[in-house]
Each structure stands twice: as C-alpha cells, then as structure tokens.
Amino acid sequence: MSGKQLLAMTPLCITAGAAILILIFIAVKRSFAFVTAFSLTASASAFISLFWVGRFAPLSVGSLLVIDRYALFYMGLMIGASFFIFLFAHGFFKSFPEHREEFFLLTFLAVLGAAVLASSINFVSLFLGLEILSVSLYALISYAAPRKAGLESGIKYLILGSAAAAFLLFGIALIYFETGTLDFAKSGAALAAGVADTPVFFLGLSLLTVGLGFKLAVVPFHMWAPDVYQGAPSPVTALISSISKGGTFALLLRLFLALEIHRYPSVLLGFTVISAASMFAGNLLALLQSNVKRLLAYSSISHFGYLLVALLAGGEVGAEAAAFYLLAYFVSIIAAFGVVTMLSVWDEEAETLSDYRGLFWRRPWIAAVFTAALLSLSGIPMTAGFLGKFYVAAAGVRSSLWFLVVFLIINSALGLFYYLRIIVIMYQPGGPAERDRRAFPGGLPMGGVALTVLILLLFWFGIFPSEIIGIIRRAVGVLEYASISAALVGGPR
C-alpha cells in the first residue's frame, strides 16, 4: 500500500481508531461525558477529512476498496448521521445504569462496516463490511439489556441475520465458481463476455439478493424490521434505518452498475416485483399500526421500495435520484427518530400514538420538527422528501418504468394518511406531560441543537437544492464509474 493510498483511507482510519481509543478509555476510566465529547470530535474529524481525501479520488486500495467521489459521498452521509445520533444518544443514555460508553464504540464499528460497503469493489470486502456492520448491530439492538424487548429483538436479528449471511456467502461462492474472480468489475466482464451467463451465476445472484434484501428490509425479507425497530433503543433504531441501510444500498447500486444488470430482463423483473411489493406492503401495514416505531419501520420498507425505482432506472439520472433521495431520507428519518429519542428514556420510550397526544401544546418546537420530518417523509412540497420523490419519479419516467412510477405516486398518497394521523394527534389537547418532565430533566439537551440543524437542512435541500445536486452529480455521474474501471485496470491514478 502506497502512502497516497493510506492517506485516502483517512476517514476509515479515524473511524476505526476512534473505536479502539474508546475501548482503551473504558479500560482505564469510564467517563460518559468525555467519551461523548470524544465521539463527537472524532466523527466531525472523519467528516472533515472527506474533503481533503477527495483530492486523491478516484484511487483503488489494493483489490478490495476504491476511494472515489461516490464512496466519499456515502461515507459523508453515514459519518454525518452518526454525529447526530451521538447528540441524541447523550440525553437518552444519561440515566442508563451502566456500560453507557460502549454505545459509542459499537456505533463507530457500525459506521466503519457501512463505509467499507460503500467503497467495496470486491466480494471479500463486501462480506467483511457487512459482517462488521452486522455484529455491531447484534450488540446495539440488545444494548439496553434490562429491557426484555431489546434482548428479544437482538436474538431475532441475530438468528435471521446469520441465515441471511449464509445465503449471501453461498451466493458469492456460486458467482466465484462461474467467474473465477471475486472482483466486481472482472465478474461483470466475464458476464458480458458470456463466460458466466449461466443459471448457476444467476442462482448465486439471487442468493446474494436475499442477503442484501434482508439488510434493506425490502419485501419479502422485511419481517424482522418492525420487531427490531420497536425493541431496540431509539438511537439504535435511527442507526439501523439510516446508516445500516444506506451503506447496503450504496453497495447494491455499485454492484448493479459493475455487473451491468440492466442488460438482463429477468433480473430487472425480480427487482420490479420486490420494489412494488415493498411500496404496497410497507404502506398498507403502516396504516394498521398504533406504535410509532413500528409505523416508521413499515414506512422505511416502502421508502426503499421507492429507492429501488431509481436503481432500476439506471444510468446517471437513476444514480443521482437514488443519492438525493437517500440524503433526504437520512435527514427526515433521523429527525423523526430524534424526536422519539428526546421524548424517551432508556427504560420507557415514547412509542404509542397516545404518547404524542397534545405534544404541540407542551413542546411546540419538538412537535414542529416532528411535523416537518413526517411531511418530508410523505413528500410534501418545500421539503427535501418532495424533491427526492420527484427525482425518483423523473428517473422512472425517463426509463419508461411506467408501472412503478404510477405505483410510487399511489403509494405516496397512501403513506400521507398515516403520517397525517400522527400530526393530527400531536395537535390535539391533553397528553402525558409527566413523560416530558422525565425525558427533559435539565431543560432542552444537546439533541435540541441537532433537531434545529436537521430541520434547517430539510428545508434547505427542499427549497435550494441546486448546490447539493451539483455535489451529487459530480459524485455519482456516469463518468465517475468510467474512472473507477480505469483505476481498477491501470492501478492507482
């Protein structure tokens, strides 16, 4: 590894180093305040380093990773998300009886695994990143051990995640059997040359889809999502819905392009069915929920059904639409779960709709932020979510995916109903004021600052999107993928 390659891995090194240092801090002396401050500093440092590392992009690191603008953009999304999650977690775990510092250690490991996924160009690094992410999530979901619901959710996720990993690994083995390589680009070349265009290869691809579909919680691999979202602590739920899924989707989009999957109608048909089923089932099941965390879990399923429309659209427009939609989704869902976190304590979370009754009359700013986040998730104009859905629909129209575009519009209208139901309840009189007093023991915590920044970003991206769209266009354009291939063939550039 050259010095330039090592420098290009600075964000990954900072993230991994932060986890190691927190482990040392815990062994020497526990200090929740110090570890929180250190985690925020390390996360901010990793995010800032992305701008400096961009000067070296695109650069392949061995045969496993590539540091390009695409990887850096998604790393920025995930590292930025971790910063806000740390702000919310500080107040949530402040009264936690023991082992509070380990949350930050495990979160850094989850971010590291997701970042490895975003920069993977090899099935080895894909599996390595996915397992780093998964193992940290097994512990994070069960983190609040005194809560039986968390332990139950952790066990469910462990069993199902292990089964999904087995499918994934067997799929990789079949692809390797047919292509003789674990490299994405070389596998795509073998497929294009007709060497690997066999039933065994597509069986391997199907098994790989099962493993990645589990991580994305798309239908029919979604059954774990509502139970895990409900049982995990709220900051962990925010992490699962953003960082975990974002890293997996970034990997899936790169793999799609490398293998040139758009040339195979049967594969596209399979993903079309998954997309439509995820949109419909996610929204329909969300309508039946009275638990806010379960409602947002089913909502998340539908959102990744929308994202698959951009994936199927392909090309530069599809990649741009997926990136912008994911950015809007990150801001909106973290803001939503941030509100849930701020209204909760580790042993009593604000889960049911009745917990939000009259919230506007007790905490008007918190209710306003939650309203804006829900409206963005539903795709109301002037929010980032509206432009995200418009961008995805435009990509679908450009690729003549008329069925999915119509399905997207219908399901967006369907989703608006259950988001409005929460909003209406918040503005009704009455409600559990005692919960608010317990959740806000010392006034507004630092999570309030996080909510303020998120709401500003939500409207900024919705009203003035040109700058961020320019960044996305430079990061995920077709020319960038061409430069990746050149970097792989010719070595570091």
What angle (nearest 5°) sits at the alpha carbon of residue 72, between those of residues 106 and 2? 95
CA 118, CA 122: separation in Å to the nearest integer?
11
Residues pairing with 345 in the sheet: 348
pLDDT in tens, the chain (493 residues): 677 888 888 999 999 999 999 999 988 888 888 999 999 999 999 999 998 888 877 788 878 888 888 899 999 999 999 999 999 988 888 777 777 888 999 999 999 999 999 999 899 999 999 999 999 999 898 877 566 777 888 888 899 888 999 999 999 999 998 888 888 888 888 888 777 678 888 899 999 999 999 999 998 888 888 989 988 888 999 999 999 999 999 999 988 888 888 888 888 899 999 999 999 999 999 998 889 999 999 999 999 999 999 999 877 888 889 999 999 999 999 999 999 988 887 667 788 888 888 888 888 888 999 999 999 999 899 899 999 999 999 999 998 888 999 999 999 989 899 999 999 999 888 666 555 545 554 445 678 888 999 999 999 999 998 889 888 888 876 444 444 444 444 343 3
- Give the three-state DSSP class for 291: strand
- Looking at residue 443, its pLDDT comes to 40
As a whole number of angstroms, the distance between CA 153 and CA 73 comes to: 31
Structural domains of the chain, count: 1
Domain that holds residue 61: 3-490
* Closest C-alpha to 310, from 296, 298, 328: 328
User: How far apart are the C-alpha atoms of 413 and 417, rounded to whole Å?
Assistant: 7
Express the helix, strand and coil content of the chain in percent, nearest 5 each: 80, 5, 20
What pTM, to 2 d.p., does this model score? 0.91
Peptide bond into 199 cis (omega under 30): no
Q: What confidence score (pLDDT) does residue 11 get?
A: 92
Q: What is the DSSP letter of 183?
A: B
Q: How far apart are CA 383 and CA 380, in angstroms?
A: 6
Tell me how far apart the alpha carbons of residues 300 and 308 are, in angstroms, rounded to a whole number. Answer: 13
Amino acid at 115: A
Q: How far apart are CA 307 and CA 323, in angstroms?
A: 9
Q: What is the pLDDT of residue 191?
A: 83
How many angstroms separate the CA atoms of 298 and 421, rounded? 15
